[in-house]
Structure 1
Amino acid sequence: MDKNLLEHSLALVDLPDDGLTVRFYEILFDRHPEVRPMFARGIRQQAGMLRTAVIAVVDHVDDAEWLQSTLGTLGRRHAELGVTEPMYGAVAECMIAAMSEIGGPRWTTEMTAAWSEALTAVASLMLAAYPTADDASGAA
Structure 2
Amino acid sequence: MDKDILTESLLLVDGQEHALTPRFYEILFTRYPEVRPMFSTDIRPQTAMLREAIVAVLDHLDDAVWLGDTLGALGRRHAGWGVTAPMYDAVAQCMIAAMEELGGDAWTPEMTAQWTEALGAVAGLMQAGAAEAEGVA
Give the structure 2 partner of residue 117 of structure 1: 117
- For residue 16 of structure 1, report the CA deviation from its aligned partner: 3.6
2:11 & 2:114 partners in 1: Cα distance? 14
Q: Deviations over 1:4-54 (max 9, x none)?
A: 110010011114453210000000000011100000252111000000000
Structure 1, unmatched stretches of 5+, are none
Give the structure 1 partner of residue 12 of structure 2: 12
Aligned-residue identity in percent:
63
Structure 2, unmatched stretches of 5+, are none
Task: Return the letter of the residue paired with 2:54.
Answer: V
Across the two proteins, how many residue pairs are aligned to each other? Answer: 136
**TM-score with structure 2 setting the length:** 0.94
1:96 & 1:134 partners in 2: Cα distance? 29
| 8 Å Cα contact 1:7-1:58 kept in structure 2 | yes
| 8 Å Cα contact 2:76-2:132 kept in structure 1 | no
| 8 Å Cα contact 2:73-2:129 kept in structure 1 | yes
1:16 & 1:133 partners in 2: Cα distance? 37
Runs ≥4 residues deviating over 3 A: 15-18, 131-134
Give the structure 2 partner of residue 28 of structure 1: 28
Alpha-carbon RMSD across the aligned residues, in angstroms, is 1.6
Give the structure 2 partner of residue 64 of structure 1: 64
| 8 Å Cα contact 2:76-2:133 kept in structure 1 | no
| 8 Å Cα contact 1:21-1:47 kept in structure 2 | yes
1:67 & 1:58 partners in 2: Cα distance? 10
2:7 & 2:23 partners in 1: Cα distance? 19
- For residue 134 of structure 1, report the CA deviation from its aligned partner: 7.0
Bigger radius of gyration: 1
- For residue 135 of structure 1, report the CA deviation from its aligned partner: 2.6
